[in-house]
Structure 1
Amino acid sequence: MKKMKYIKIVLVGFLGFLSSCDGFLDVVDLDELTSGTVYKTETDLSYALNQLYTFLPQGDVEGSAPVLPYFWTDEAIHRNINDGGGRQESDFNWTINSSVLDNFYRYPEIADINFFLQALPDAEFFNESNRARFGAEARFFRVWIYEAMVFAYGDVPLITTTISADDLPERTPRIEVFNFVLSELDAIIAILPEASQYAAADNGRITKGAALALKARACLNAVGWHSDPASLYVEAEQAAAAIVNSGEYSLVEGIEGFAQQFTSASDLVSPETILATAYVPEFRTNSLPRRLPPKGAWRGLEATFGNNQSRPGFTADFIEEVQTINGLFPINDPSYDPANPWENRDPRLAVSVILPGDLLPSKGNPDLDYEFQPHPNINPNGTADNINSTVNPTGYNFRKYLTFDIPALDRADVDIKVIRYSEVLLMYAEALAGQGKEAEALVYLDQVRARVGMPLYAEIGLPTITRGTTGNQMIDAILLERRYEFAGEGPQRWFDIWRYKLGDQVITQVYGIPESTELPGDLIGPKFKADGDSYNRVWNDKFYLLPIPQKVIDANPNIRQNPGW
């Protein structure tokens, strides 16, 4: 049984509980199911706790999806043509009413968690040892949300109890909320079990490793604004070291092991998974395969949705900076062949990106090959995937989590990996590098490269980053590795640009595939501008904090807007 298939909405759980009454003729009026009548027992609280797991990022490119902030980086865009949200704000035409930017301001979820924690002490437990763990799991979700809000918005109201609808809290200073996050994490780390200590039926629950990883991530995300970044590197190092030294996690070897993390083969069994959003059929928590495939590709015998997907795309800036198998940027490698640009590249490129010329199962018949070709002048399949049609306008499609062996692409059953062990290794390396411990940092950086067969920097030397540099060569190399490792997967690149203030160095006009019909990997000739000039993005330092949603300010006069908005 896939992990966390036990997650159901609270009402479903309560109905199951009611159906187990001793007398099958006992009747309970559903109108009597109130917060005062159901948050009473361990069973009640277990159902309510399971509901909190739905607050983790969903498998999608919108809303609270882990992919959404990736469109706010130099590596990707999203052509959204259907609604007022428009382009998922990846054109950087942001306003105080851009609803897409509101997705980290999550006080309804905070209210649910606070109510749960308020009910927990008075509930009757069959197994008293579960009470502390339930509380630790709920507190994890609360700090998960607060950490994201502190990063995205700065000062936010810190609310840790249930409050009246008439209360109008002010914004709490960023440092106070951040300190709360760290103190809460320290407290629950001491309570939560290791992954191996859970029974099989509880696989997928929050673990000590997940809390430690969130602490490391929180500390590193704060180095750009905190008054004492040196201390943050130390705390991040300690948290990451505890995970590494626990022996609970490891990388799955080879490029096959890397690719496996985005298939159902990794669910339950992967030693890389530290935190994941489990697929739950009732919630359809993984819609990524529906969003990603080229229009000409197979969509399943039972596919009933339209053909208006395939809008996320990688930029030429990312594609052209993925190293060759020699550990060099293509422009610096004499062996790079622009006529065969996908040969002899970092193998993670082919796992992460659908590239021009790739063969996929055909929309008409999955037993036939279909060639993905987005170039307007050489597209052999009419206009289906032509970058001038309603698809992603760069010609480089997302591939992670895409699968064609399911009844329909909106029925994918892969768990979304929120934190993988490779991120811990790279956070460990970054924390060490931030303290000047470069030799130690290199060990963990090279572990990630070695897994996929890339040359070790210990042997070839660190790369020289000329675009988007922090001024620290080791940290630059680590951020580059994060680009390769997490491409199209989550918010990591967003974290990196914002916390090291790289926006003015990397956010510019978005380009797609080369205009050349003979050299698909042309590095020096003209390229198609993504959707004309629509993605001529202009950086503004006010973007380092998202705007507080205007509807929040309208409802609460004590909330003031972030600078510049």
Structure 2
Amino acid sequence: MKYIKTYKFASLLVLLVSITSCNEDFLNVDDLDDLDLSTVYQSEEDLTLALNNLYFSLPNLDIEDPLFSIDANQAYIVPYFWTDDAIHRNIANTADNQGSDFNWSDSRRSLRTFYRYQDIANINFFLESLPGATFETESNRERYAAEARFFRAWIYETMVLAYGDVPLVTTTLTPSDNPSRTPRQEVFDFVISELDEITNQLPETYSGDDIGRITKGAVLALKSRAYLNALGWHSDPDALYAGAEAACSEIISSGVYALVDGIDGFKEQFTPDSDLTSPETILATIYVTGINVSRYALQVSPRDLYKGINGSGNNQRRPGFTSDFIEEVQTINGLFPKDDPIYDPANPWVNRDPRLEATVRLPLDEYLGTDGVNNDIFLPHPSYGDTRDRVQGSNNNPTGYGFKKYTDYTMLNNIEGDADLKIIRYSEVLLMYAEALAGQGRDGEALPYLDQVRERVGMPKYADIGLPTVTRGTTGNTMIDAILLERRYEFAGEGPQRWFDIWRYKLGNQVIGTVYGIPDDVNLPGDLTGPKYDSSDLEIYQRVWDDNYYLLPIFVSF
């Protein structure tokens, strides 16, 4: 497997020429047809290019695993459709639904999203090439190795969560090699050991063109994720909580990261305005106009949302939030709608957690229309008489509640989004820290970190109003339930965090079931008790949980 994927190498050269150098010497690159293993990976320049290529192993802002590509990057949003919060529509009744229907088998391509041995092979070859390469700046050799080892740990951490036992491959393989699966505990121990070793080999911050590279904070955040994601199977939860606490504590005490104030600060995290500058960003996939872009806006937006000055084709409104999620987003008083006397089912979007409006395309939302001048209105209910976005359409949003993060009006077109995917934000560290403390019975210490995330968007502190009583999807620990609820609000529609939480606390049988959308009553868009739209496609919407789903089947055919 010692080969170079020249198509990626070529795209990387274009990327680097475009955004990191104006040096004429840099532009004098070799003809790619002349490159082979005797002429590359020999110098610091070679290794710099190769290392930058490894950044392609970070996940993409995408809701679908590409159909025919065996080398596609991880689609970061896909596991969100394996939760109670969202569903992916069936496209013309022929597609994969990205696992939304829980009709899982080893031929469901969306379930391969974490099985990434092509990236592992590239990383291992890179690491084996480092010692023999010539470096002008010798200190870069150790840092380059640490960055590559981070990517390998990232991949194995998610594989351990998703698949359990997987082959632990840390060297390049020959065609005759056939590695067997390694016990889950051993792979987990390898991940933690790797992260421990590289923590102090990476800087806390970078400057200039290096901003956006892997930092010490990213290593510690991944370590905390790894500890907490192992709760569902590991034999020593106390050690896991303690490990997560230590990692998060170091990030917080560093003073490098901070929340941006207000709901506007929250919204900004999903626009280009925050790229490479936000104090919240710990790890991100970087997008650059004309070089590396996202088609996410095309996938999730209403049909007539503005498509950019060069936009074309129809927005595809494929995913939808469930009524379970919408109805559990608190009012501004910190209460569930069913428990708050001020909640008005005829006007349900006022006086709610501000993150609801920032996250969800709600019925009757106004947005900039296709012409870029006039506003349009999101009309998903069949009674509105508008066929473009109504839930009855076979190719429409299946619930009437659309995705909103990472859609904006500044992109050139709807398939060239350039807002960076914020993979790990500082709010996740604060909530992981709170969870690690709560898991050790230290609720009083945990509460201020939970409340810090709530206060940023104007929600009341639980220290003032008391913790909520979660009845659907409870861990049995009131503080941890409140933290997981906050994670639902904070990270809705942006990544796999809800999937993590269901899997590691084994909540599947409590929360996975039939999916419902908007209420039938057009005059009560916030009706909590009446019938709701559930579609006629029963195979997709009437989901049945099986504990076997806590381990994904390994994809066996392309």
TM-score normalised by structure 1 residue count? 0.92
Indicate the SS of the match to 1:71.
Answer: helix
Indicate the SS of the match to 2:283.
Answer: strand
CA distance in 2, matches of 1:204, 1:231: 31
Task: Give the deviation of 1:281 after TM superposition.
Answer: 4.0
Q: Is the 8 A contact 2:281 2:426 kept in 1?
A: yes
CA 274–154 in structure 1, closer or farther in 2 if over 3 Å, else same: same
Q: Is 2:146 the partner of 1:136? A: yes
Indicate the SS of the match to 2:383.
Answer: coil
Q: Which amino acid aligns with 1:550?
A: V
* Superposed CA offset, 1:161-198 (max 9, x none): 10112111100000000000000000010201002xx2
Residue 435 (structure 1) aligned to one of 430, 437, 440:
440
Residue 321 (structure 1) aligned to one of 325, 328, 343:
328
CA distance in 1, matches of 2:248, 2:60: 25
Counterpart in 1 of 2:68? none
Task: Give the deviation of 1:297 after TM superposition.
Answer: 2.0
Counterpart in 2 of 1:354? 361
Indicate the SS of the match to 1:550.
Answer: coil
Indicate the SS of the match to 1:186.
Answer: helix
Counterpart in 2 of 1:298? 306
Q: Is the 8 A contact 1:403 1:409 kept in 2?
A: no
Q: Which amino acid aligns with 1:431?
A: A
Residue 50 (structure 2) aligned to one of 48, 51, 55:
48
Indicate the SS of the match to 2:415.
Answer: helix
Residue 495 (structure 2) aligned to one of 490, 512, 519:
490
RMSD: 2.0
Q: Is 2:129 the partner of 1:119? A: yes
Counterpart in 2 of 1:193? 203
CA 377–13 in structure 1, closer or farther in 2 if over 3 Å, else same: closer
Task: Give the deviation of 1:514 after TM superposition.
Answer: 0.2
CA distance in 1, matches of 2:23, 2:476: 63
Counterpart in 2 of 1:76? 86
Counterpart in 2 of 1:340? 347
CA distance in 2, matches of 1:459, 1:11: 57
Q: Is the 8 A contact 1:14 1:44 kept in 2?
A: no
Q: Which amino acid aligns with 1:290?
A: L
Counterpart in 1 of 2:470? 465
Indicate the SS of the match to 1:238.
Answer: helix
Q: Which amino acid aligns with 2:495?
A: G
Indicate the SS of the match to 1:411.
Answer: coil
Q: Is 2:371 the partner of 1:372? A: no
CA distance in 2, matches of 1:407, 1:69: 28
Q: Is the 8 A contact 2:305 2:315 kept in 1?
A: no
1:94-493 map, 5 Å: 94-195=104-205, 198-281=206-289, 284-304=292-312, 306-307=313-314, 309-363=316-370, 365-379=371-385, 382-389=386-393, 390-493=395-498
Q: Which amino acid aligns with 2:239?
A: S
Counterpart in 1 of 2:71? none
Task: Give the deviation of 1:461 after TM superposition.
Answer: 0.4
Q: Which amino acid aligns with 1:34?
A: D
CA distance in 2, matches of 1:492, 1:223: 14
Equivalent residues, number: 537
Indicate the SS of the match to 1:194.
Answer: coil
CA distance in 2, matches of 1:132, 1:377: 63
Q: Which amino acid aligns with 2:61?
A: G
Indicate the SS of the match to 1:511.
Answer: coil
Q: Which amino acid aligns with 2:378?
A: F
Counterpart in 2 of 1:4? none
Counterpart in 1 of 2:40? 38
Counterpart in 2 of 1:3? none
Q: Is the 8 A contact 1:58 1:285 kept in 2?
A: no
CA distance in 1, matches of 2:229, 2:494: 18
CA 29–326 in structure 1, closer or farther in 2 if over 3 Å, else same: closer
CA 368–181 in structure 1, closer or farther in 2 if over 3 Å, else same: same
Task: Give the deviation of 1:303 after TM superposition.
Answer: 1.6
State the identity %. 60
CA 385–162 in structure 1, closer or farther in 2 if over 3 Å, else same: same
**Which structure 2 segments of 5+ residues have no match?**
1-6, 66-73
Counterpart in 2 of 1:557? none
Q: Is 2:530 the partner of 1:528? A: no
CA distance in 1, matches of 2:93, 2:151: 30
CA distance in 2, matches of 1:514, 1:30: 58
Q: Is 2:39 the partner of 1:62? A: no
Q: Is the 8 A contact 1:393 1:531 kept in 2?
A: no
* Superposed CA offset, 1:196-244 (max 9, x none): xx22110000000000000000000001100111100000000000000
Q: Is the 8 A contact 1:362 1:368 kept in 2?
A: yes
Task: Give the deviation of 1:548 after TM superposition.
Answer: 1.3
Counterpart in 2 of 1:556? none
Q: Is 2:543 the partner of 1:537? A: yes
CA distance in 2, matches of 1:28, 1:59: 32
CA 283–148 in structure 1, closer or farther in 2 if over 3 Å, else same: farther
CA distance in 2, matches of 1:298, 1:137: 38
TM-score normalised by structure 2 residue count? 0.93
Q: Which amino acid aligns with 2:350?
A: E
Q: Is the 8 A contact 1:213 1:240 kept in 2?
A: yes
Q: Which amino acid aligns with 1:318?
A: F
CA distance in 1, matches of 2:357, 2:29: 58
